[in-house]
Structure formats: structure tokens, C-alpha cells
Structure 1
């Protein structure tokens, strides 16, 4: 079943109160409205599922927070946070120095690398020179757009931006772009799909650049929300120590997604 952003927005404010006590502090959690498997997407019934959904439930339960999902387009998450429309962001938002000028972050809760997806049999090289004259698909507002703008565009590559990863994958499968840059976990999930396994392959990982690709994925918070940050950091540490994090992670990954 296909979901438009308008349809998904109707699914906002899904309360996870069953995992917390009645007196728990309510926290509005910004999720990206665009599906991003295996991290978060609505199922056929409109219920959110995925690794980050399980992470949120475990973290909120440990921190005794009553967490309510608000679905917001990815590039609107930080503006919604700073405008106090939501209280935190859990949407695979990378911790970068640029973003830290606007918002605060918890300790990281997973790390991943960036890779480049191409059509099967492609001879493209994952270098600025190898991508000169080629069109690269990236998600709008993502670290991958920032990375490609910094490293590939000056050498002659052209960027095409998308609201969702699925849109970029569809254009790659149809030959409308030459490559797609994204997190290798998201690329791996696509390669396991019926379309992905037939059309595409991982050409390689991009060269590391922490100034753009950041230092892991963190929970976004408003600057000054120190009490909430302390609770969230303590909860992340606790579910890592008590085995809850590893238990739900094994449903999705056969490696340590925490990284580092």
C-alpha cells in the first residue's frame, strides 16, 4: 500500500502510553513522515514499525516518558523542534557540528556509513573523478546531499534531490539517475527487496568526512532541555547495558548497529 505525506500526516500523534506509567512525562516525538525502512515506516494498518520505533519504545519506557509520535516531513523536523511543535526528534538524524549550532543531541544511539548504489554491472568509481558528469540521487536535507554537494558536485556531478529514499531508488532502477547515495543500512534493505535485488548493487562506501557525515545518530533536542537530555542519555546507556537494545536490534540486523 502506498502512503502519501498527507496520508501519513493523519497518522500523527500515535500514543505509546501503554509502555509508560500514567504519571509519565509526555514527550512529542518527531518522526520523518517519509518511510525509511528498516528504521521506521507505517504498515498496512497505519501503525508505525521498524528499528527506530522499537528503539523509541525501549528508550521511553526506560526513561518513564509517555512518547507520542508526530509525523513530519524530514526537512521540517528541526524547524518543528525549534518552534516547540515537538519535543525531540528520532529520525536517523546525524550529529553534525552544523546541526549542533541550531539544536542539541543526545549521545549517539547508532552509527552507520555512507555508500553509493548503482545499476548492476556499472563501472562507476566512488570518487569525485569517477562521478564527473553523472547524476546522483540524494534525500533532500540529508547529510548525503551535503556530502555530495561538497565532494562530487565540484568535480562535475549533478544532484537530484528527493523527499524519500524510495523515490531515488525508483529513479535509479528506471535509469533516470546514475547512482544513489545513502546510509549503507538503508541501501542494504533496498537491495534485499524484489526491485533492488534485480536492478542494483552497492558500488562502495564514500570516503569518510566527519565534518559532513557526522558522528553517529542522536536524539535531537532543543537547546536548554538539559533535564530531558539527561533522562534520554541515561535510558540509552541502560538499554545498552541490560540487553534490551541488542534484543530488538537482532530482529533487523546481523551486525552491531551501535557501531563505534
Structure 2
């Protein structure tokens, strides 16, 4: 899962008939989308059990451009790529960073946005995002994310005990219970999912936003099978149309403060 800025990337075509040899939009009556649905404000279920969030609204706008219906398929984050390959759905849209390693296995659309990674810990703990400060402590990360990969690479051999979770809410529960000393998170999720809640009032961001490592490029895109070339082209066209129209920025304004994420520019 993930430098803080808000660049923009989303736009999609009302019809794919104008895309050369692309099939008509009617080719995709529905698009099954894999998602780890416990990750506010990107994707989560609201009090009514309805799927909600920034990624959800963007995907629905894309499906609208393609005259298709979005169908949400819930999956643990670390199981999203295997499930995509097993054809349980056509697209991954779950705040997934388009890394070089993942690109060897699946394909990605144009980037949609970029998000920063930062450490949180209890207020007054003095904890910092360094191997020295974290040595001997328990650090929580979401399994299968770039945060997990970075923590293992940067701190795994420095005496830091890295604890991986399939569900981000479990990370927060263990922070509250004192079973974790810190957690490495995408900043918007840390805010919406924990810090602004009553349970998170005793915690805060510590240290600066992490940068300077290729693992933390934090460009988020939608994942597809490498064979689904037409669908990728259709979604990219849609992403860039939505970006040019200002729709992505409008949706972002519903969930984020200005500058909280980086929306990629339309091509």
C-alpha cells in the first residue's frame, strides 16, 4: 500500500468506440473490482454496509464512462494479485502502489494519485522512523503493502519486530492495546481510520514523511492482468477524461483536505 502532494489522474471515455480497434463499451456490462474494504477513506463499508470511499467513487465514475456496472469483490490486500490472476475479478482498485516488482506480474493503468507514508506512535513516546529508535520495538504494517516491504528492508535487520496484518483495523486495535509500539501507514488512512477517532486521540504522526526510497514512490494505479489490453486502454482513456473534466479533483475534495494526496495530471 504508498510523499504527500495532490496531483491528478482520472478520466474515462463515455464510449470506447472512438478508441481505434477497441471493442464497444457494451463489451463490459459489469467490471468486477477487487478491494480490501477496511481502508478508509479509500475503500470501506459505511454504517449501512454500503461500499464507500475515494477509490470507490473514482471507480464508479470510470464504470459510468464505460456504461458498465462496478461489482465489488472483497479480498485481503495480500491476496489481491493472486485473486486477479485466478480471474475472481478484472481489476484491482485498492490503493495499490504500482511498483516495479508488481509490474512484473500484473499490468497497471496510468497512475491516479500519490500518497505519503508516515509513522504513528503514542503521543510523547519519542519514537522516530529510524532503525535506532525502533530497535527492540514492535512495528505494525499491512501485509502485502509497500509499507511492509520498506519496513523489512530498512529496519528488519535492525532489531525491529515487524508485525504484519491482513486487516488495517487490527493494526489500530493492537496499537490501542499496547501490543504495538508504532505503525507505518499511508498518511490519509492513518488520519481517517484512526487519528481522528476517539480511539486514536492518544496517538500522533512521528518524524517526517518517508521518502528517498524507490519502494515508496507511492504512485497508485489500478491493476489488471497483462492480457486485458483492451480493458486497460479503455480505463486509461476514461481516467484521463475524468481528470481533464476535473471530476477526480472534485471527488478528492469530498475525502481529503487540499494537498493531502497528490492527484496525477491528465495526459
Q: What interval of TM-score do these two structures reach, taking the shorter chain for normalisation?
A: 0.7 to 0.9
Residue segments in structure 2 that go unaligned for 5+ positions in a row: 1-13, 16-24
Q: Hey, what does 1:31 align to over in structure 2? A: 35
| 1:134 Cα offset (Å) | 1.2
| 1:214 Cα offset (Å) | 3.6
Q: Which runs of 4+ in 1 moved over 3 A?
A: none
Q: Is the 8 A contact 2:106 2:224 kept in 1?
A: yes
Q: Hey, what does 1:149 align to over in structure 2? A: 152
What SS does structure 1 have at the residue aligned with 2:235? helix
| 1:67 Cα offset (Å) | 2.0
- Report whether the alignment pairs 1:195 with 2:162: no
Q: Hey, what does 2:134 align to over in structure 1? A: 131
- Report whether the alignment pairs 1:219 with 2:216: no
| 1:102 Cα offset (Å) | 0.6
**Alpha-carbon distance between aligned partners in 2 of 1:205 and 1:170, rounded to the nearest angstrom:** 24
- Residue range with higher mean Cα deviation, 207-216 or 182-191: 207-216
Q: Is the 8 A contact 1:138 1:182 kept in 2?
A: yes
- Residue range with higher mean Cα deviation, 59-68 or 182-191: 59-68
Q: TM-score, normalised by structure 1?
A: 0.86
Q: Is the 8 A contact 2:32 2:90 kept in 1?
A: yes
- Report whether the alignment pairs 1:79 with 2:66: no
Q: Is the 8 A contact 1:108 1:216 kept in 2?
A: yes
Change (3 A) 1:232 1:42: same
- Residue range with higher mean Cα deviation, 86-95 or 127-136: 127-136
